Copies of this chain bind each other. A is one copy, B any other.
Amino acid sequence: MSEIKDRPYHHGDLRRALIDTALAMLAVDQNWTFTLREVARRTGVSHAAPYKHFRDREMLLRELASIGFVRLGETMTEAMSPAMPSTRAQFVAAAQACIGFAYQNPGLYRLMFSSDADKTIDPQLHDAAMSTFGILLGLLEKGQRDGSFRPVAVSALAAASWAQVHGLAMLAISHQLLEEKVGSAPVPAALDMLLDGMCCTD
């Protein structure tokens, strides 16, 4: 009888429930203009309850962004893990995973890189972002060690490839990679072009 209670006073895990509601709204609306009150309402809780878990609305948004970076990291890691013929192929897989993630979670991805997810305020968010960025960095370093990538400053490779992947993701989200405008497989095409410049075998 404690199973389907009629809203116990204490929710159990309201923090998580609020995050889930907000993530759902973000996914549906593809923006984060939702109000905190609406999130509370949909979670079936009073409009002030969220403040017991988040100092303000922006703190919730940063939490969502943080989760986004963790999930993106997982997605990229999974995509890279299968046996790959080359580091270059692994790079393409990771990049496509990132772009795919952005395409399937456009609202979340945009939030992650918006000024509402201010990484200078929230160390946890900053760390989550850096950790995900670290996946790319690790791959580039590995590629340099095994002779796949040019022996330039790894940071230069990182800037170029991160910019490229993030840029493609944003274009994809904005539906600016339509076939008639940009060919049938713009992402691999663009990645290959950059890789031709990054790799030793040019």
Inter-subunit contact B197/A192 (CB<8 Å):
yes
Tell which of B110, B186, B197, B202 touches A159, judged by Cβ atoms closer than 8 Å: B186
Q: Within 8 Å CB of A124, what residues of B?
A: none
- Closest B residue to A31 by CB, please name it: B115
Size bin of chain A's contact surface = 35 or more
Cβ-defined contact, A183 with B155, below 8 A: yes
Assuming A194-B193, A194-B194, A202-B197, is B170 touching A166 (CB within 8 A)?
yes
A197: chain B residues within 8 A (beta carbon): 192-198, 202
Q: Are A186 and B113 in contact (CB under 8 A)?
A: no
Q: Is A151 an interface residue (CB 8 A)?
A: no
A61 to chain B, nearest CB (A): 12
